[in-house]
Amino acid sequence: MSLSLFLLPSSSPPLPPFSSSSALRLSRPLTSLRPPCFPRLVPLPLLHSLAHAPTLPRSLRPCALGSGSAAGYLLQDAGATAAVLAGAYSLVLTFDTLTENNVIQQSLSRKLVHILSGLLFMASWPIFSNSVEARYFASLVPLVNCLRLVINGFSLVTDEGLVKSVTREGNPGELLRGPLYYVLMLILCAVVFWRESPTGVISVAMMCGGDGIADIIGRSFGSQKLPYNQRKSWAGSISMFAFGFLVSIGMLQYFSALGYFQLDWIGTIQKVALISLVATVVESLPITEVIDDNISVPLVSMLTASLTFGS
């Protein structure tokens, strides 16, 4: 069997922007392809070289787009969803234990959960399949946590560990604000943008990395307050810009290395710097008493990224 690599036939629907997907087509009908073949975790450049390999052992044959069976995709996505859900529960339990044992303060615990949850959730996206439904399976994770926050926020049940590790004062009602908006934004980014667009990646990075570090640095080193907002500081805002920028570039590199999109890095660095600046300015405004940062920061990042990246 020889593999030939060529672009999608012109009759195919246009590839989403930034998709560098080149369909691997086999010389015989896809129906003859039998798994196992490895999922899209293999970086695309490697797939290109594999595509030209004269013969490949069956177990090393890359999946052609759409070559996985529906049942295979379903199994992969269900397993990935269960694994990431378990990861979410373990993360909160870990920080609850650390707080309970006074290893870290409750405020730091909440912020570390804020930084790590969304970034680790986004980092898990490549373990989901190439199916159209994959993003919906992935969004089940923040959805289940959304329900968990709501039932605990209304004290229908009481999960002390959850309340302690993600609230400021240990009041269950707090779960219905910052944490709830946070998981709703993760659902939005996963469903609308998924791993095919820099927009969702940057928005999650700014909400988790940028806004998360601003609190930690701002509380500890924020003596110099902003002239227009005495609740925010130069240290907090500068750290939000810098860390949000670095985390955004890092996550874009991650998805690019796995072949989900290819970016012109000079232009990307400029665009991400602009997005980080806009998000940092918005986060510093007194409006955050009206609109939670977990809404304003990702939304303004989505808007700015959509305008600058065109997707």
Ligand X SMILES: C/C(=C\COP(=O)(O)O)CCC[C@H](C)CCC[C@H](C)CCCC(C)C
Ligand Y SMILES: Nc1ccn([C@@H]2O[C@H](COP(=O)(O)OP(=O)(O)O)[C@@H](O)[C@H]2O)c(=O)n1
For 152-185, the three-class secondary structure string (H helix, E strand, C coil) is HHCCCCCCHHHHHHHCCCCCHHHHHCHHHHHHHH
Task: Report residue 62: phi and psi, to 5°.
Answer: -70, 155
Binding to ligand Y by residue 244, rule CB under 6 A? no
Binding flag, residue 186, ligand X (CB under 6 A): yes
Size of the site for ligand Y (CB under 6 A): 17
Provide the minimum distance between the beta carbon of 298 and ligand Y in the complex, in angstroms, as a whole number: 12
Helix (H) or strand (E) holding 223: none
Considering only the stretches 39-47, 56-64, 177-185, 223-231, report the one whose residues sit in contact with ligand X under the rule CB under 6 A.
177-185
Given 115, 185, 214, 305, the residue binding ligand Y (CB under 6 A): 214
Candidates 138-146, 196-204, 238-246, 263-271; binding stretch for ligand X (CB under 6 A):
138-146
Evaluated on CA atoms 192, 197, 200, 203, the torsion sign reads negative
* Minimum separation from the CB atom of position 183 to ligand X (A): 5
Alpha-carbon dihedral angle through residues 226, 228, 232, 238, given to the nearest 10 degrees: -50
DSSP state of 1: -
**DSSP code string of 13-71:** PPPPTT-----EEESS-GGG--S--B-TTS-HHHHHHHHT-S---GGGPBPPTT-S-HH
Separation CA 153–CA 155 (nearest Å): 5
Residue 25 phi/psi, 5-degree rounding, is -110, 140
Q: Which is nearer to ligand Y, 67 or 203 (CB)?
A: 203
Residue 201 within binding range of ligand Y, rule CB under 6 A: no
Q: Which range of residues in 174-182, 220-228, 268-276, 282-290 is near ligand X by CB under 6 A?
A: 174-182
Q: What's the rounded Cα separation, in Å, for the pair 24 and 5?
A: 5
Verify binding: residue 180, ligand Y, rule CB under 6 A. no
By CB under 6 A, is residue 130 in contact with ligand X?
no
Residue 153 found at the interface with ligand X (CB under 6 A): no
Should residue 126 be labelled a site residue for ligand X when binding is judged by CB under 6 A? no
CB 117, min distance to ligand Y, A = 13
Cα–Cα distance, 122 to 101 (Å, whole number): 29
Give min distance, CB of 172 to ligand Y, in A: 17
Query: Are 5 and 22 a contacting pair, CB within 8 Å?
Result: yes
| Binding residue for ligand Y, selected from 218, 244, 259, 298, defined by CB under 6 A | 218
Binding partner at 232 among ligand X, ligand Y, none, C-beta below 5 to 8 Å by kind:
ligand Y
Of the listed pieces 8-16, 61-69, 74-82, 88-96, which binds ligand X according to CB under 6 A?
Answer: 88-96
Residue among 77 and 215 whose Cβ is closer to ligand Y: 215
Report the run of H or E that residue 234 belongs to, with start and end.
Answer: helix 234-257
Residues lying near ligand X in the complex (CB under 6 A): 84, 87-88, 91-92, 110, 113-114, 117, 120-121, 124, 141-142, 145, 166, 178-179, 182-183, 186, 293-294
Residues lying near ligand Y in the complex (CB under 6 A): 178, 211, 214-215, 218-219, 222, 231-233, 236-237, 240, 283-284, 288, 293
